[in-house]
C-alpha cells in the first residue's frame, strides 16, 4: 500500500446532492466520506480520448474525480464508434475533447472538465500536465508513451499506462518515487517498421473498454491510497484466452530518467528517439507519393511497374486494385532482399501509412523507384473506383 497521491491541506465538503449520488461509494469502508472528498479534491489528466480514453473518462467522471483534463486534437470519425463509446453518431465531426466533455458532464455535472484540443508535444507537455495529480495514457502510441513517462518522472507524478493490440492489452502504473518507470521496462523503443497500430492491425471493440476500465481502477486506488496498485507489476490480458497474467518489473538503477544518475533532465524529441522520420525527411518522402488518378493512368498506359498491396489477404476481400499483387507487410519484410531493385514499385495499403513505412524499408535497402499510393486503397475507392467500399 502507498500513501494517497492526493493529500491537499484540506478536503472539500460534499453537498447533499453529492452525498446521494455517491451513496454506493460512501457505503464502502475503503472509500467512505473521506475517500469521496479525496476524489473530489483530485485532478487527473487523460491524454487521448479514443478507445482507452472513453472508458477512463466516463468512469472517472462518474466516480466524482473533481477535475479531469482531456488532451486530444482529433475529431470524431465514424470508424471510431466501434470502440470509442464516449462519442456517438450525434457528435461525428466534433472535436473529441468537446464530444467527451459533453458526455462526462451529462454523467456527472458536479465535476470540472478542462479541454486541450491540441497534440501533446515536448513543448507543451510540462505546462499541460503540471496542474494534475495523475497522468493517464489513452493514446496508445509509442513516442507519446516515452513523452508521458519522462514528463511524469520529471514532475514526480504517477503515470497510468495502458496499451492495446487486436485481442491483447497491458496495464501498469509507473511511479518513479515508488517503483520502476516505463523506460526501466522498455529502455529502447522497438524499430518503427515492427510497430503496428490499431489503425493498421485492428482492435476488437471491447478491448479498450476492458483496459481503460482497469486504468481507471488504478487511478481511483492511487487517489484513495487503497489496495496494491500495479507499481512494479505489468498486467497482461489476452481476450481470446480470457487470461490475466502479471509479470514483475524492476527498477533499473541505470535508467536514464529515473535511475541514480539520470541523463535525461528535460523532454526530448520522441519521434526521432522512436525512429520516426523528421519533417524534412517526410517532405522528401512526399515527392515519392503517387495519387490514385495518376496510378490509374500509369496502369492504363501499361507502364512497367509492380503494384504491391501490402495488406492482409482478408483485407483484400473488402477492396482491391485488380492489377495489384498481394504481398502482406510481414512477408514483404521477409522476402524483399531477393527482389529486383530497378523495377519501379508502387506500394498500397489501407490509408497510405503502413505502405510509407514499407517504402522507407525498401529505399534503405537500395531500391531506386519506390512510390507510395497517397491515401491508400481508400483514396483509390474515392477517386478512381467508387464501386469499392472504404473501411
255 belongs to the binding site for Zn ion (CB under 5 A): yes
184 belongs to the binding site for Zn ion (CB under 5 A): yes
Query: Which residue from 38, 183, 221, 311 is in contact with Zn ion, where contact means CB under 5 A?
Result: 183
Residue 181 or residue 211: which is nearer to Zn ion going by CB?
A: 181
181 belongs to the binding site for Zn ion (CB under 5 A): yes
85 belongs to the binding site for Zn ion (CB under 5 A): no
How is residue 124 written as a grid cell?
A: 507543451
Question: What's the min distance (Å) between Cβ of 255 and Zn ion?
Answer: 3
Q: Which element (helix H / strand E) includes 246?
A: strand 243-248
Please say whether the beta carbons of 185 and 142 come within 8 A.
no
How many other C-beta atoms can be found within 10 angstroms of the C-beta atom of residue 345?
Answer: 22
Q: Minimal CA–CA distance to 181: which of 121, 236, 232?
A: 232
Contact flags string 209-248 toward Zn ion, x per CB under 5 A:
----------------------------------------
Residue 64 or residue 229: which is nearer to Zn ion going by CB?
A: 229
Three-class secondary structure of residue 84 per DSSP: coil
5 belongs to the binding site for Zn ion (CB under 5 A): no
Question: What's the min distance (Å) between Cβ of 258 and Zn ion?
Answer: 3
Contact flags string 357-386 toward Zn ion, x per CB under 5 A:
------------------------------
d(CA 147, CA 93): 28
185 belongs to the binding site for Zn ion (CB under 5 A): no
Mark the segment that binds Zn ion (CB under 5 A) among 9-17, 53-61, 256-264, 382-390.
Answer: 256-264
SS (H, E, C) 122-155: CCCHHHHHCCCCEEEECCCCHHHHHHHHHHHHHH
145 belongs to the binding site for Zn ion (CB under 5 A): no
Q: Classify each residue of 266-301 as buried b or exposed e, where b means 16 or more C-beta atoms within 10 Å of its C-beta.
A: ebeebbeebbbbeeeeeeebeebbbebebbbebbee
Residue 231 or residue 348: which is nearer to Zn ion going by CB?
A: 231
Residue 68 or residue 230: which is nearer to Zn ion going by CB?
A: 230
d(CA 338, CA 348): 20
Q: Which element (helix H / strand E) includes 59?
A: helix 51-63
SS (H, E, C) 311-360: CCHHHHCCCCCCCCEECCHHHHHHHHHHCCCCCCEEEECCCCHHHHHHHH
Residue 45 or residue 257: which is nearer to Zn ion going by CB?
A: 257
d(CA 55, CA 138): 9
Residue 80 or residue 149: which is nearer to Zn ion going by CB?
A: 149
List residues bridging with 95 in a β-sheet: 75
Angle at the Cα of 107 (from 103 to 109), degrees rounded to 5?
100
Residues with Cβ within 8 Å of 259's Cβ and at least 6 positions away in sequence, in order, are 251, 252, 253
Catalytic residue status for 198: yes
d(CA 137, CA 270): 16
Maximum Cα–Cα distance across the chain: 76
Q: Minimal CA–CA distance to 136: which of 234, 52, 61?
A: 52
Residue of 181, 255, 274, 349 with catalytic role: 349
Residue 262 or residue 291: which is nearer to Zn ion going by CB?
A: 262
Output the residue with the shortest Cβ distance to Zn ion. 255
Question: What's the min distance (Å) between Cβ of 183 and Zn ion?
Answer: 4
258 belongs to the binding site for Zn ion (CB under 5 A): yes
39 belongs to the binding site for Zn ion (CB under 5 A): no
Mark the segment that binds Zn ion (CB under 5 A) among 45-53, 127-135, 161-169, 258-266.
Answer: 258-266
Residue of 181, 184, 198, 258 with catalytic role: 198
Residue 83 or residue 157: which is nearer to Zn ion going by CB?
A: 157
Question: What's the min distance (Å) between Cβ of 265 and Zn ion?
Answer: 13
Q: Minimal CA–CA distance to 289: which of 343, 339, 352?
A: 352
What is the total count of residues that contact Zn ion (CB under 5 A)? 5
Active-site residues: which are they?
Answer: 198, 349
The footprint of Zn ion (CB under 5 A) covers: 181, 183-184, 255, 258
Amino acid at each position: 500500500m502507498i500513501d494517497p497521491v492526493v493529500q491537499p491541506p484540506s478536503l472539500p465538503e460534499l453537498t447533499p446532492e453529492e452525498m446521494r449520488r455517491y451513496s454506493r461509494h460512501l457505503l464502502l469502508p475503503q472509500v467512505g466520506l473521506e475517500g469521496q472528498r479525496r476524489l473530489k479534491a483530485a485532478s487527473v489528466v487523460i491524454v487521448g480520448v479514443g478507445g482507452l480514453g472513453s472508458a477512463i473518462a466516463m468512469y472517472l467522471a462518474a466516480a466524482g474525480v473533481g477535475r479531469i483534463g482531456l488532451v486530444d486534437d482529433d475529431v470524431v470519425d465514424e470508424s471510431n464508434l466501434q470502440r470509442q463509446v464516449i462519442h456517438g453518431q450525434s457528435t461525428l465531426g466534433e472535436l473529441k475533447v468537446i464530444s467527451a466533455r459533453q458526455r462526462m458532464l451529462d454523467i456527472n455535472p458536479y465535476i470540472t472538465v478542462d479541454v486541450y484540443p491540441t497534440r501533446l508535444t515536448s513543448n507543451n507537455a510540462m505546462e499541460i500536465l503540471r496542474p494534475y495529480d495523475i497522468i493517464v495514457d489513452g493514446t496508445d502510441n509509442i513516442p507519446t508513451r516515452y513523452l508521458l513517462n519522462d514528463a511524469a518522472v520529471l514532475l514526480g507524478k504517477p503515470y497510468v499506462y495502458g496499451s492495446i493490440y487486436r485481442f491483447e492489452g497491458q496495464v501498469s502504473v509507473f511511479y518513479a518515487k515508488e517503483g520502476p518507470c516505463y523506460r526501466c521496462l522498455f529502455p529502447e523503443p522497438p524499430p518503427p517498421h515492427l510497430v503496428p497500430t490499431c489503425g493498421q492491425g485492428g482492435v476488437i471493440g471491447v478491448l479498450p473498454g476492458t483496459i481503460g476500465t482497469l486504468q481507471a481502477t488504478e487511478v481511483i486506488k492511487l487517489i484513495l491510497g487503497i489496495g496494491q496498485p500495479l507499481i512494479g507489476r505489468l498486467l497482461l490480458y489476452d481476450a481470446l484466452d480470457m487470461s490475466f497474467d502479471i509479470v514483475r518489473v524492476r527498477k533499473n538503477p541505470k535508467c536514464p530518467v529515473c535511475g541514480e544518475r539520470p541523463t535525461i533532465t528535460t523532454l526530448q524529441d520522441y519521434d526521432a528517439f522512436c525512429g520516426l522520420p523528421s519533417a524534412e525527411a517526410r517532405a522528401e518522402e512526399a515527392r515519392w507519393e503517387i495519387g490514385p488518378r495518376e496510378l490509374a493512368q500509369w496502369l492504363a498506359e501499361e507502364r512497367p511497374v509492380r503494384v504491391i498491396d501490402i495488406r492482409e489477404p482478408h483485407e483484400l476481400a473488402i477492396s482491391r486494385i485488380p492489377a495489384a499483387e498481394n504481398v502482406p507487410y510481414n512477408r514483404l519484410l521477409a522476402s524483399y532482399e531477393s527482389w529486383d531493385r530497378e523495377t519501379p514499385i508502387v506500394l498500397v495499403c489501407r490509408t497510405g501509412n503502413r505502405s510509407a513505412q514499407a517504402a522507407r524499408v525498401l529505399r534503405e535497402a537500395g531500391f531506386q523507384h519506390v512510390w507510395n499510393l497517397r491515401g491508400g486503397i481508400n483514396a483509390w475507392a474515392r477517386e478512381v473506383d467508387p464501386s469499392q467500399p472504404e473501411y
